[in-house]
Structure 1
Amino acid sequence: MAIVIGYAIALLGAVAAFQLSKGKSKKRKYIVWGTALIVPISQALSFAVGLSYAFMVENGWAALIMWYIFPILFLIGLVMLLVGIFKREGTGNGDG
């Protein structure tokens, strides 16, 4: 049951980020998706994947894979957030 809840939280976080970023500028999309990846998605997804993998290989220690998945997803979200914060809005004349 905990595995399903983890996947559900990650899915709800992705749906919420999609709804919040629909029709926004690229800068705002990076900020929304970076925040969503840092806060709800990375923790829930790493937890659910770790437990799923441990269940498949029938070894409880295999759940520690979540200790590797979480920092990777967190850093990807952090990079996306920082790109969104420090990205310059283009003026439309091709310089950036």
Structure 2
Amino acid sequence: MAIAIGYIIAGIGAFMAYWFSTGESRKTKLKIWGIALMLPISPALAFSIGLSYAISVENAWAGLIMWLIFPFIFFIGLTLLLLGIFKKEKEIV
């Protein structure tokens, strides 16, 4: 049940990020998706994938793969956030 809750939280986080980013500028979309990836999606998805993998290989220690998945997704979100903050908008003349 905990695995499903993790996937549900990640799905709701992705849906909310999509909902809030529709109709926004590219900079704002990058900021929203960066924050969404770092806060709700990254930990929930890492937890669910780690436990799913541990169950599939029938080894409890295999669940520690979540410690490798979490920083990977987190740094992708951090990169998106920093791009949204520091990217310059093109001026239309």
TM norm structure 2: 0.98
- Stretches of structure 2 that go unaligned for 5 or more consecutive residues are none
Counterparts in 2 of 1:14-93, with a 5 A limit? 14-93=14-93
RMSD of aligned Cα (Å):
0.6
| Distance in 2 separating the partners of 1:86 and 1:20 | 20
Per-residue CA deviation, residues 37-87 of structure 1 (Å, 9 max, x unaligned), is 000000000000000000000000000000000000000000000000001
| Distance in 2 separating the partners of 1:36 and 1:42 | 8
| Distance in 2 separating the partners of 1:59 and 1:82 | 38
TM norm structure 1: 0.95
| Distance in 2 separating the partners of 1:92 and 1:18 | 26
| Distance in 2 separating the partners of 1:92 and 1:54 | 52
> Secondary structure in 2 aligned to 1:92?
coil
| Distance in 2 separating the partners of 1:82 and 1:54 | 33
- Percent of aligned positions that are identical: 58
> Secondary structure in 2 aligned to 1:88?
coil
1:5, distance to aligned residue in structure 2 (A): 0.2
- Stretches of structure 1 that go unaligned for 5 or more consecutive residues are none
